Each structure stands twice: as structure tokens, then as C-alpha cells.
Amino acid sequence: SSFVTRTNTCGELRSAHVGQKVTLYGWVQYQRQGLFLVLRDFQGLTQIVIPQDEAHSHVRELLSNAPVESVVRVTGTVSPRPVGQENPKMPTGDIEVKAETAEILNSCKKLPFEIKDFIKKSEALRMQYRYLDLRSLRLQSNLRLRSRVVMRMREYLCNLHGFVDVETPTLFKRTPGGAKEFLVPSREAGKFYSLPQSPQQFKQLLMVGGLDRYFQVARCYRDEGSRPDRQPEFTQIDIEMSFVDQAGIQRLIEGLLQHSWPEEKGSIMTPFPTMTYEEALAEYGTDKPDTRFGMKIVDISGVLRGSDIHFVQNALSYPHGSIRAICIPQGVRCLTNKDLESFKESAKSQFNQEIMEIIRRPDGSLKSLLAKFLGEKEQSELIQALNVQEDDVVLLAAGEHKQVCSALGTLRLLSANLLEAAGLALRDPTAFHFLWVVDFPLFLPKAENPTELESAHHPFTAPHPSDASLLYSDPTKVRGQHYDLVLNGSEVGGGSIRIHSAEQQRFVLEKVLKEDSEVLSHLIEALEFGAPPHGGIALGLDRLISLMVDAPSIRDVIAFPKSFRGRDLMGNAPDYVTPEELEPYHIQVSWPLEEKEAKKN
């Protein structure tokens, strides 16, 4: 309560304060029968006894009629609650404050929704009245935890390990590759700034400048449109170091997370396990595996290789063909026929992959269209390979390796959600399973044109030392020095060792990616002036905190987030500007016909 006119907060009074005269400020949580009300502030709740004697009739009238969520000041004496009326669920439940004077500082009009966590309200309404939503216990707790974590991160990086906190520009220029960037018009005709999707170039230039260790709580921007659980503006813990290798960055981040991890969330064990990209894809069907539960993808190509099944033999004839399966425990009891059909439709629509199910009956036999094509030995080997128990359901896919694994990886997560909804405990909600994924391919075929390549991470990632020669002969086989940090199936960080040779950086941009290197001439030139070997990482702060607090959306850990469509529903942004305001930027808006008519009306 330093620097303010209250004597105490609403969450700190205890039996030791009995007899003290206090002044509290807060919001009216609720009022009951004109006898007492509960006052709330950022720290907790205190019960206020409304005086009933005639001498304090004005106080009684004022507090009895104060609308819920009005801001009031109360002065009174701390008293023990009557015997039997203590509330052990409240930290202040042993005391109450007998009001002597009170003042309504600001009365609250009718609320659009109740300020209670258990009251369901639409997200659009929460966004529109975000300043009211912020009063909820859940959001208050999330934002305060976020603040504590960031402060501990600053302590670890700056005070313990000599990092320099540097702010980098928000107005910059377009970066080739990566996510789409927001454009900001300038007063020079036809010239635009871009809002950086990350401080990537600046952090590398700081290493060229000799700062050695940089970090920043960085605001980043990506114009990704309507993507679920993404934000057009977000926050990264951005880090870069000189003279470091991949193992050094990993040790730094493990120490950083251990140091900043909230005590109430339990401890996290280091070092984190490591898995290659190929292992993650083969066993989990994704580069961000949720390792809190089993149901791994199993290669059963060897079991079925000798069968006469046409689609099996056809799949195995591909250069990268394989047959793989997952076993869903208690699938017969937890999944319906409709669920299984939905799985097949998802695999077909998303991956163009056929799926076949196999069910193990209570008598041990297999129920499947495949069963009649499999001999007793093959059936036994299949059961053993997948450890199939009674009432388990097996989902089998055959075809190109990456396509098969990706489809089964998606179905693994979908089936886990359904099993948990049916009451089967698979994932411990209090567990935190960190994982490093390494050895990514440096380049991937472009989805729109597979004959061309794009960076799997970004164009500044250095090739794996063992694959450096392949960069010039067969870049598709080059692994990058890129590493992702995964937590409970979500990517919470990603980084790499950077290219510090101007010649190699120019080759990657011009020859491999077919990009115009002139856009990055400033960076390439900087690399010619004695650039040290360097690398770094960025942690997605919003995602990390949302996983810490088990929030359903990253919007629940951001004070003023945008909606699903990237709009600010509270301030109604983005908004129109007048032609006169656009004139200095040499911009004219070409309105679609229907919008022209709407504006006229």
C-alpha cells in the first residue's frame, strides 16, 4: 500500500490486524440484505459489515444501495468474525471490517455480464468490454504470473549471464520469405515500411556490432489473417549470442526456464530430452509431438510385407512407401462408428490418405476387412507389434511415408481428445513435458510449386556442419542447425545457428531460394566486416504462459488481444480514415462496389 491513500489491500487483513482502524478501496463484489458487502481489489476480498445503528444511517444507506462493481472507499475497524461464521475458503475469512465511514467514488451502471469466472459469456462480448473482463480473478492471475515470469527472465539473462537488453526498430523493410508482414505507408510516394515479424536481422547485426549477448521482450507482427489461436501482434523473448553452438543455446534456455518457472507449477527437470525431426515425424506424425501420452505410430511394413493385399504391396513399391499404425486403447468403448468415420474423412480431406481400422474382439480375434487376407502368424505379429489388447482399435495407413505419418499423427491427437472426453485419463493436465526437436531439413519444397525450395526455418539458418558440402550439390538433403522447443505438443520456441559468411548467405538467397539478395544487401555487407559465429532463439511468451496456466486460448494471457479475425472489438480497429488523411501518403482507396454503396448510405 505504499504511495497510495489506503492503509491495506483487501487481501491482506488477518486476525493479527484485529482492533486496527483501516481504510480500504475496491469494487463491490456483492452485497447481501443490507447487512454486509464484500469488497474486492487486485489482492483479494474483505467482508465489510454495514452498520445498522441510526448514528451511521447514511453509511448504511450508501453501502446498501451501492450497485455491484461500484468503486468505494470504506474506513472502519477490523473485528473477528462471530464464532461459527469464519470462512476458511477466504484468506481474510477470520475477520471482517465494521464500516464507520464510506464513500462511493464511482457508481457502476448495469453490467453487460457478471464479473465472475464461472459465468459463461461470449468471447466477442468479453473482447468488447475487455476492461471489465480484466477484473476477473483468472485474467488478473494470468497477467500477474506473466509479469513475474518476465521479471525472473530479465534477472537470469541480465544479472546472472551478462545479456544486454536492446530495443530494436518497429519500422523496417520487407524481409524475403516467412510470414506476411504488415505494411506502413511513408510520405515518399510508393515506399512503405514493414512491421518486423521478428527482430531477426537486428539481432544478427548486434552480434556484428560486438554486443556479444542480446535479449529483448520483443513485440512482433504477422499479417496471418484468420488463423485460430494466433495474434497479429505477439511477444517473444528474443535472444542472440556470439561464439555459441546449438548445445550452448539449449543449456541457456533450460536454465532460463528453470529459473523463471513459477514455484506453484512444480519444478521442471533438465536437460530436456532431444528428438530428431525424422524421429518425431515417424513416431508422432508431427514436428511438435505431445509426449505426455503413448499411442506412438508403429512401422508394421515388415509384418505385412509378405501379404497378398494389393494396397499394401502398392504402398511398399513407392520409394518412400511404408505401412504404419496407431493403437487406440479401449477404442471400442470410447469411440463410436461415427467417430471412426470422421477420422477417415479427416485423413482423406487433409492428407488424401485412406485409413483402415482393426478391432480386437474380447475373444482375441481381429475384426477388419483385412483379417481374411492375414494368416494366423501375421495376425499374431501385428497384435504383438502394436501391443493390441481387448477392445483396442487400430488405425492403419499405407502410402508415402510423410503423408502416412502426418495423417496418423493428426488422428492420434483427435482420438486422445475423444478418449479423455469419455473419461480415460491420458494426459496429466499438471505435467509439463519439454522436448527439443533438432536436425530439421534446411529447405522444403514449396507447397504451390514443389520444384522450388523455401527455408524450413528462415534463410539465415546455417547448414549442419556434416552437410555443408551438400548445400552446393543437393540442397534438399541438407539438415539445418535449427532447433525447436516443444511443450506438451505446442511449439514454444525456435532458433538456429546463423550463417555468418557473406558468400554462403548470398548463395542461399540467390541460388537455392531464388530470392533477390539486394533486399538484404545491408546484412550481407555486414557479414563481410568480421561477423562472429552466432546463434539464437525466440520463445513465444504468449504461448508459453498460456500453457503454464492451462488457458484455453493465448487471448487469456494477453491484456488487450485481437479477435479471431484480427479486430479490436473494444476500440473498433482497424477503422476507416479520410481521403485527406491518406493524401500525404500518396494512397487512394479503391472501394468494392458493395462497400461504396454502404458508405453512401
What's the whole-number mean pLDDT along residues 478-485? Answer: 97
Of the pLDDT bands very low, low, confident and very high (cuts 50, 70, 90), residue 234 is very high
* pLDDT class of 598 with cuts at 50, 70, 90: low
Confidence of residue 414 (pLDDT cuts 50, 70, 90): very high
Structure confidence by residue, pLDDT tens digits, 279-289: 999 999 999 99
- When pLDDT is averaged across residues 499-519 and rounded to a whole number, the result is 95
558 band by pLDDT with thresholds 50, 70 and 90: very high
For residue 565, what pLDDT is reported?
86
Q: What is the pLDDT of residue 599?
A: 59
Measuring CA to CA, which residue among 350, 368, 336, 334 is closest to residue 408?
350
Question: Per the structure block, which three cell numbers stand in for 191?
Answer: 515506399
On average, the pLDDT of the chain sits at 94
Beta carbons of 407 and 323 less than 8 angstroms apart:
no
Query: In terms of CATH architecture, what is 141-275+434-556?
Result: 2-Layer Sandwich (3.30)
Predicted pLDDT of residue 592: 80
Q: Which CATH architecture does the domain made up of 15-106 adopt? A: Beta Barrel (2.40)
- Cα separation, 388 vs 371, in Å, equals 14
pLDDT (0 to 100) of residue 120: 84
pLDDT band at 116 (very low <50, low <70, confident <90, very high): confident
pLDDT tens, residue by residue, 306-343: 888 888 888 888 889 999 999 999 999 999 999 999 99
Closest CA to 196 of 429, 538, 542, 434: 538
C-alpha to C-alpha distance for 111 and 32, rounded to whole angstroms: 18
Using 50, 70 and 90 to split pLDDT, how confident is the model at 600?
A: low
Q: What CATH superfamily classification does 293-422 receive?
A: GAD-like domain (3.30.1360.30)
Confidence of residue 593 (pLDDT cuts 50, 70, 90): low
pLDDT in tens, 171-193: 999 887 667 899 999 999 999 99
First-to-final CA distance of the chain: 54
Q: Is the pTM of this model over 0.85?
A: yes
User: Where do the domains of the chain lie?
Assistant: 15-106, 141-275+434-556, 293-422
Q: What is the pLDDT of residue 454?
A: 93
